Structure 1
Amino acid sequence: MDTSRNDIARQIAVISSTVFMIIAAVVGAGVLGGTPVQDLQDGALAADATLLAPASPAFSIWSAIYALMIAYTVWQALPSQRSRERQRSLGWWIALTAVLNGIWLLLAQYATLPLTVVGIVALLIALGITFQRTVAFESEGLLDTLFADASVGLHLGWVSLATVANITAWLTADGPREWESAGTTLGVLVLIVVGIIGLAIAWFSRWRVAPGLALAWGLSWLAYNRLELSPQDTAIGVTAAIVALVVSIVPIAGSIVRHATALRNAEA
């Protein structure tokens, strides 16, 4: 009985957390009296505020992430999912990522820029732990892979880049003016580190592609922003484009090789 109650509590927590996230997202979009994210914090989070900010269309990835999270919320609430060990491992953590996602939006609306950095780092850590659990407890079918693995993977990949952009926005707004002269060099180095992190995530997860695709999406729009829009920076734009190709192609190639090897072993 206690186990059943815990499972039901978990399902309700996921539903409640997702509803909270959606409400916060609506406020963050400027509806219900809120200010759009790009206009918050004196424009520090806008696409043209820093050298490492992606162009505005990059943020449309949230539609895919939210759609998958909502689908997961409905799916995990089914009686057939209630007592599955994988749901027990993932449910509470996915609920936490939804809450932290919503909290970041509220922090951006009503708190300070440094607090948004704290919020997004907390979200990134929670997503990293959740993603590790999706790897440890392998999926058991297409819906498992789509609603849980792809949802968490896209969320992790995008927030990894968003964390960099958020920290850059804070340092640009509050850091010494002397740092501006080193902006290009630091930006290129940061993007190389992002690429290394993206490859590490792919290797650790046995070449899952969702995090890399989300990273590549954001990096591609970052490259476009620096090469075509303002502020322009060719070095950062080219670096972002190269890193986008690497973090997307390597996991796809690794996944193909992994599945081909598994197929050959099964036929041997």
Structure 2
Amino acid sequence: MQQSIAVPRRPVLAAQIGTALAIALAIYGSFLGSGAAGGTPIQNAAGGYLSADATLLAPAGPAFSIWSLVYAGLAVFAVYQFTPAGTRSETLHRLRGPASLSALLNAAWILTAQAGWLAVSVAVIFILLASLVWVAMLLRTYGSATRTEHWIMWITFGVYLGWVCVASLANTAAWLSSLGVGANASWPVAAAIILLIVAAAIAVALTGYTRGQLAPAAAIAWGLAWIGASRLSGTNESTLVGISALAIAGLALLAALAVAVRARKERSLP
């Protein structure tokens, strides 16, 4: 737990409003990305390179339902920061900047993807990933003022971070595919499996770094499992990648759980 911070009311209110507006823009962008607000659905944008069957690292469509949890968490966070506890929180005082940046980058990614600028979208998603790593570092360093704040922050930004780790791989694969990299070659299958293993290692490392928080690892495992499901069905089948992805997702989750249990035992030691 952390200590509250005393800050002038007007600057805090301005920061709270700015954060809420950034999150509102991200949520509006999600409607554009789904096609519900007049935008092109992401799976149909950029020449179809972001669809579920475009590359070996593309997750199946249901994987993207995780965005509903992320956006719901962001909405709860936007409201919570206006509460007395949220206003006093030192963590939120420090976190509003990178949280707002992540929301704006989220909206920017949707716009660049719909415009078909895959190279730009790759740059945007990796900057988005960096902003979420920044959020995780702040949460780890400063903790939370209340249990409510703890769960809001880690479920929202932990899941957000984990999913963007997977999305960045899929986005990069889509861009490379649009350039013809690996077309008609045999090595993309091996490369895909190696990248899946790297993603699993990141899931376990994040669990250790965050002292046992499982949300990032769970989101990564979710993404990897749906990559496996996509490769075992649809038009871009690869039994080897599909089975490997499902196995790696399960192992990543089990390893992360073991790390989390160990971290919590260490915290309980005198």
| Partner AA of 1:59 in structure 2 | F
Segment drifting more, 41-50 vs 28-37: 28-37
User: For the residues of structure 1 that align with 2:164 and 2:66, how far apart are their CA atoms?
Assistant: 11
Structure 1 residues 237 and 130: CA distance shift in structure 2, 3 A: same
User: For the residues of structure 1 that align with 2:265 and 2:160, how far apart are their CA atoms?
Assistant: 27
Structure 1 match to 2:86? 81
Identity within the alignment, %: 32
Which of 47, 50, 63 is the aligned partner of 1:58? 63
Q: How does 1:213-228 map to 2 (within 5 A)?
A: 213-228=218-233
Structure 1 match to 2:128? 123
What CA deviation, in whole Å up to 9, does each residue of 1:176-207 have, x standing for no partner? 45563211011111111112222211111112
The count of corresponding residues between Structure 1 and Structure 2 is 265
Segment drifting more, 244-253 vs 94-103: 244-253
How far did 1:121 drift?
0.8
How far did 1:164 drift?
0.1
Asked if the contact 2:203–2:256 (Cα under 8 Å) also holds between the matched residues in 1, the reply is no
Structure 1 match to 2:3? none
User: For the residues of structure 1 that align with 2:266 and 2:117, how far apart are their CA atoms?
Assistant: 50
User: For the residues of structure 2 that align with 1:204 and 1:241, how far apart are their CA atoms?
Assistant: 24
Matched, 1:68 2:73: yes
In structure 1, runs of 5+ residues without a counterpart are none
User: For the residues of structure 1 that align with 2:130 and 2:266, how far apart are their CA atoms?
Assistant: 32
What is the SS of the residue equivalent to 1:239?
helix
| Partner AA of 1:23 in structure 2 | Y
Segment drifting more, 18-27 vs 107-116: 107-116
How far did 1:256 drift?
2.4
Q: How does 1:196-207 map to 2 (within 5 A)?
A: 196-207=201-212
Structure 1 match to 2:149? 144
Q: How does 1:37-186 map to 2 (within 5 A)?
A: 37-176=42-181, 178=183, 180-186=185-191
What is the SS of the residue equivalent to 2:53?
coil
User: For the residues of structure 2 that align with 1:28 and 1:167, how far apart are their CA atoms?
Assistant: 18
Segment drifting more, 88-97 vs 246-255: 246-255
Q: Aligned-residue CA RMSD in angstroms?
A: 1.8
Q: What is the TM-score when the length of structure 1 is the normalising length? A: 0.93
What CA deviation, in whole Å up to 9, does each residue of 1:17-68 have, x standing for no partner? 0111111111111023211110001100000000000100000000011111
What is the SS of the residue equivalent to 2:246?
helix
Segment drifting more, 139-148 vs 57-66: 139-148
Q: What is the TM-score when the length of structure 2 is the normalising length? A: 0.92
Structure 1 residues 195 and 177: CA distance shift in structure 2, 3 A: closer
How far did 1:262 drift?
3.8
Which of 24, 27, 45 is the aligned partner of 1:19? 24
Asked if the contact 1:4–1:83 (Cα under 8 Å) also holds between the matched residues in 2, the reply is no
Structure 2 match to 1:33? 38
What CA deviation, in whole Å up to 9, does each residue of 1:193-240 have, x standing for no partner? 112222211111112100000001111111111123331112211221
How far did 1:261 drift?
4.3
| Partner AA of 2:17 in structure 1 | I
Segment drifting more, 134-143 vs 203-212: 134-143
* More helix, by proportion: 1
How far did 1:78 drift?
1.6
Asked if the contact 1:7–1:83 (Cα under 8 Å) also holds between the matched residues in 2, the reply is no
